[in-house]
Amino acid sequence: MFHRSSEGSAEVERAIIHVDMDAFYAAVEERDRPELRGQPVIVGADPRGRGVVSTASYEARKYGIHSAMPISEAYRRCPHGVYLPVDGAKYSRVSTEIMELLEEFSPLVEPISLDEAFLDVTGTEHLLGPPLDVARRIKTRIREATQLTASVGVASNKFLAKIASDFKKPDGLVFVEPGREAEFLAPLPIRQMWGVGKLSEMDLRRMGIETIGQLARTPRELLARQFGTVGEDLWVLAHGLDDRPVTPWRAPKSIGAEETFPRDHLDMDLLGRTLLGQAERVARECREAQVRCRTVTLKLRFSDFKTISRSQTLQVPTDQTREIYREVQQLLRHASTGQPVRLIGVSVSNLVSDIAPLQLNLFKLRDKDERVSRAVDLVQAKFGRGAIVRATLLGSESDGNPRRPIGGDFGR
């Protein structure tokens, strides 16, 4: 079914384009350092450490290396690879350039991460030409302006365009023709559905469902009984239906919290509790703004007024206190000089739209934290910010309100 939208008295076919940059971080590094081209390039943590891979070039992927893989495993598979640290500031600058370029083709551009975005070019055919021609021009324009390649999908809705852009990477272009959506989706493995990962794929396979076509033929009621509303959403998407609009969005540049102490402190427990309270506030403001952060920054001002900042770029954007606090706590351990601290602060940047509603998440890895966060947000919205707090923060000077502790405290 090809969705249509009304424009005046006429019916206009929706035309949605999804642009996904190819191996973005690694490609930027190869562009800036041509001697790296053709080599297996892995961007991420120090291979001698315990972090993960952020992006791997296509040459590195031949060794089975992929994003989120432990960096130690990547090094075991490819010890001769080129291992580079994440340069979040540089990737953000290139991303801004690409997003501004996309706005030349449509005012309806919705970035969903640094390296991908949706465009709605519905009704622009008389100005720009057919959607497939627009997609070709976008690819050419990106290559000319940035010397990078993008894979592009064109379809009647976001879901189909997203799957199409991933179909022939790298440098691909796939058009899902009107009326052939079901034919396009049917043979694809269920893991290509948004939000279907290893655990949920196993659940579906146990039900005898291995392809999107089989998922579409499964009774909606059965999926609802098994997975709740998520199961119903999967059934709808499996039929190629998705009426969500492309929503232009501009993120705030950063969100932060800091505190100057009445007297300088060396007490690491106090500094840790202060950071936890700040991480809580920053995470809450992220959720309120419907954004997630890619970069976490610690700010310290010492007794001699010397001020430093240390940052860490995350593999997966977050709006959760636990993840923000974990990163900033590690930064504090490495940044501590033994000097008394006058001011301490947490900020997050490289913000991207909160795309959780777009990802029909059957994973349960984050579910507990996110359910607790939503519940706390609701309680605080109804009864005030001081109504509920983590046990570690009881008696904190940050708000000065009596509060009830909640479970799941990870402040110590």
In this prediction, residue 360 carries a pLDDT of 44
Neighbours of 375 (CB within 10 A): 12
- How far apart CA 273 and CA 189 sit, in angstroms, is 46
Are 324 and 293 in contact by the 8 Å Cβ rule? The answer is yes
Chain-centroid distance of CA 259 in Å reads 29
pLDDT of the residue at 92: 85
Residue 97 is among the residues annotated as catalytic for this protein: no
**pLDDT in the model for residue 378:** 58
The mean pLDDT value for 351-380 works out to 55
Burial code of 250-267, b = ≥16 C-beta within 10 A, e = fewer?
ebeeebebeeebeeebee
* Residue 364 neighbours by CB under 8 Å, 6+ apart: 199
16, 208, 218, 230 from 213: Cα distances, Å: 22, 12, 9, 17
Q: Which of 135 and 411 is assigned the larger pLDDT?
A: 135
Using the predicted structure, report yes or no on whether residue 357 has a pLDDT greater than 80: no
pLDDT digits (tens, 9 = 90+) for 169-198: 999 999 999 889 999 999 999 988 876 877
Q: What is the pLDDT of residues 76-100, one digit of tens each?
A: 999 999 999 988 889 989 999 999 9
pLDDT tens, residue by residue, 117-153: 999 999 988 899 999 999 999 999 999 999 999 999 9
Q: What is the rounded CA–CA span in Å between residue 323 and residue 292?
A: 11
Per-residue pLDDT at 5: 40
Per-residue confidence (pLDDT) for residue 7, from 0 to 100 = 41
Please state the rounded mean pLDDT for residues 3-21: 68
- For the chain, domains (ranges, CATH) are 24-90 (3.40.1170.60), 180-247 (1.10.150.20), 254-406 (3.30.1490.100)
Q: Out of 29, 30, 59, 116, which one is annotated catalytic? A: 116
pLDDT band at 411 (very low <50, low <70, confident <90, very high): very low
Q: What is the DSSP string of 62-102?
A: TTT--TTSBHHHHHHH-TTSEEE---HHHHHHHHHHHHHHH
- Per the model's pLDDT, the better-predicted residue between 326 and 68 turns out to be 326
Predicted local distance difference test score (pLDDT) of residue 250: 65
Mapped onto helix, strand or coil, the DSSP state of residue 219 is coil
Q: What's the pLDDT tens digit per position in 267-305?
A: 888 999 999 999 999 999 998 888 899 899 999 999 888
Spatial distance between the Cα atoms of 176 and 192, rounded to a whole number of angstroms: 16
Percent of the chain at pLDDT above 70?
Answer: 82
